[in-house]
Amino acid sequence: MKERGLLIVLSGPSGVGKGTVRKAIFSQPDTKFQYSISMTTRKPREGEVDGVDYFFKSKEEFEELIQNDKLLEWAEYVGNYYGTPIDYVESTLQEGKDVFLEIEVQGALQVRKAFPEGLFIFLAPPSLKELKNRIVTRGTETDDLILNRMKVAKEEIEMMDAYDYVVENDQVELACDRINAIVTAEHCRRDRVARRYKQMLEVDF
């Protein structure tokens, strides 16, 4: 029997650059991860292709997927539904391939419950201070709004507790390197490797 792949979940606060890091990882020619394309009810942005960037669904279609337990997790984010198709994730893991999800934090918590053996990576802003600087230098927000953003960010950063690793997104390239290193290390974990050797012995003798 083939060893199951790893379920890799990249999540983190909104605006931290999850999508940018994910796209950078998948633009590397030697990436071995399989990207799980999400379902969403939001409208395609210019240049986005159905079945490549997302599977674009109507609200009714999405609700039917929820009803029929076709989603590993789903969340409502800024007025739209987003969710991960369970069949693709299951069959790809079964083939021994690593599946990569890039999702917001509510969804990641649901995946943690369903797949506690997954690899949960939290993408963090370089520092709270820098987050504030970034918000302030945008120059468009009032003090109240900035404070509110900071409060939300603080809460989201407290969510790190639900993850195995934290990767700072100081530079996209460095963040990608760290994620690749984490996955490599995870494949070398003693319990995974020992299981593989034990199975090998069972077959041969």
Q: Which residues bind ligand 5GP (CB under 6 A)?
A: 14, 18, 38, 42, 73, 75, 77, 82-84, 102-104, 107
Q: Nearest distance from residue 190's CB to ligand 5GP, in Å?
A: 32
Nearer to ligand 5GP, 59 or 189 (CB): 59
Tokens 């997954």 label which residue? 118
Spatial contact of 204 and 49, defined as CB atoms under 8 Å apart = no
Annotated ligand binding at 16? The verdict is yes
Annotated ligand binding at 15? The verdict is yes
Q: How far is Cα 139 from Cα 38, in angstroms, rounded to an integer?
A: 33
Q: How far is Cα 120 from Cα 7, in angstroms, rounded to an integer?
A: 8
Annotated ligand binding at 116? The verdict is no
Q: Nearest distance from residue 151's CB to ligand 5GP, in Å?
A: 19
Q: Which amino acid is it at 179?
A: I
Q: Nearest distance from residue 182's CB to ligand 5GP, in Å?
A: 18
A 10 A CB-CB count for 105 gives 19
Annotated ligand binding at 18? The verdict is yes
Nearer to ligand 5GP, 152 or 200 (CB): 152
Q: How far is Cα 151 from Cα 157, in angstroms, rounded to an integer?
A: 10
Annotated ligand binding at 13? The verdict is yes
Q: Nearest distance from residue 14's CB to ligand 5GP, in Å?
A: 6
Closest-CB residue for ligand 5GP?
107
**Burial label, 188 (beta-carbon count in 10 A; 0-12, 13-18, 19+):** exposed
Binding-site residue positions for ATP: 12-19
